[in-house]
Amino acid sequence: MKISAVIVGAGISGLMTALEVARFADVAVCVPPQGWTTSSTYRAQGGIAVALGADDYPHHHYNDTVRVGRGLCHEEAVDILTKSAPTILLPMIEAGIFAMRQSGIPALGLEAGHSHPRIVHAPGGLTGQAIAHFLYEQARRNPRIRWVTGRAIQLITNQNGHCLGVWVRPPSGPPFPLWASATVLATGGYAALWHTTTNPATSIGHGHWLAYQAGAELADLEFVQFHPTVLAEDVPRGNALLLTEALRGLGAHLLDPEDRRFMLTHPQQELAPRDEVARAIFQQPAAYLSLKHVNPAEVNQQFGELSALVAARGYELSSDRLPVHTGAHYCMGGIRTDVFGQTTVQGLYAVGEAAHTGVHGANRLASNSLLEGLVFGQRVGYHITHHPRPAPKSEAINLHPPTTAVLRDDEALDLMGRLLDEHLGVIRTKQSITQALAILDTLINQNDHWLFRFAMLIARAAYERTESRGAHFRADAPKTDPEQQGHFIQHVEHGLHFTALTHV
């Protein structure tokens, strides 16, 4: 089978890209050994933002996205996202994926940072699963889509720095190359580098590292969003239970140990933007989420599946005071791309959370992530098929797969996860970041593992951004600096540099 593209990852952005490419050409999807359900998409709860209300329009959605992005959103990307939303969601609305009103239109919820109710959600609350199954069933039946199980371990490049495909290590047997005119990294984010995370344990930025080693630029790695409401438990990395923002949209309160609502002084109260709610919770001695005052029937009707997950942890969603803390959740930083997913390496694309289109700025608006995967996945697929490149030739400079590291990834993460929680968490300081850099340097000297080096890139970007903006908050520099309205870019050969944003 001659393939036009190989897509690494099978979350919402990877599946959407594959389906779009398969309209015109053959495509391979590289699925991790753990299976396609291990993506962040499959865990996503809340819903998808779309301006469908009688008094809501895409420009309102645009304005909310830009406002929450704290001056770093790329206007063209936001315009594409918000205007494309109604059309791209129509097939899913017609397929009955989302909860509907008796009038025949989707039920619209309200979430943090939004000026209008515009969140569509699946019945039961597990929207990511519903969309993933919808896309996967289409992809599974498509004869133009080839499924490959394995872990991408290195991009194949030539003397000109062009990407020709990817090396894949299968569950058993030796690594093999997948050649393609276009290679798409849909590998998700890197929030599982932190020990306390809402992400699956596999979201550790390996796609970012592959791109970086191949010469692609990375941007804004310091911007990691911490979800305010994660059920507070001592569980292994990757097993935390997120309590969706939609619960607060329904009316849930955030309480301190004395049962006082500590968000009352904010104009938007519990529905303030995520970065502000996360910092408020982080600074409490303990915090709780409560739905006791909300009709239990309404809670169970809208969040029945989430209620079952909460019950499995020993709590009752509608009546218990649920202990919550913050957790690393979403990465605004990523592989730098244009609005068609093209990276700075010819033949290499990135999409979804792996990509940095600039659509989220310094802080993502709630329920824009699944939408991004759909909109830009379709655009990447369109660009690949409508701007074909010549078939790759065997002129690669790395036809031998890389050797396996002495230290396993999980061992490296055990050494590093709590370090990031403590020193690169919700609130940072020059001192904490400096300590992180020193410890990471020691770890690299002891064992030169790629995870330590990638974490070093994140820490360096956080150190250089000597301001507070969006998800990056420094207690020693709590104000936003107009001189730092731009992006910190990192390249394997050229190091770190700052690029001012001039078109916002």
Question: Phi/psi at 492 (nearest 5 deg)?
Answer: -60, -30
CA–CA distance, 308 with 318 (Å, rounded to integer): 11
Angle at 84 between CA 12 and CA 470, to 5 degrees: 70
What is the enclosing helix (H) or strand (E) of 460? Answer: helix 450-464
- In sequence order, the β-bridge partners of residue 49 are 119
71 Cβ neighbours under 8 A, 6+ residues apart: 361, 362, 469, 480, 485, 501, 504
* b/e map 432-464, b = 16+ CB within 10 Å: bbebbbebbeebeeeeebbbbebbbbbbbbbbe
Find all residues with CB under 8 Å of 408, minimum gap 6, and list them: none
Catalytic residue flag (residue 274) = yes
User: Is the CB of residue 345 less than 8 Å from the CB of residue 211?
Assistant: yes
Cβ–Cβ under 8 Å, residues 339 and 503: no
From 274, 279, 336, 428, the catalytic residue: 274
Q: Which long-range contacts (CB under 8 A, 24 or more apart) does 479-483 make?
A: 480/70, 480/71
Catalytic sites, residue numbers: 274
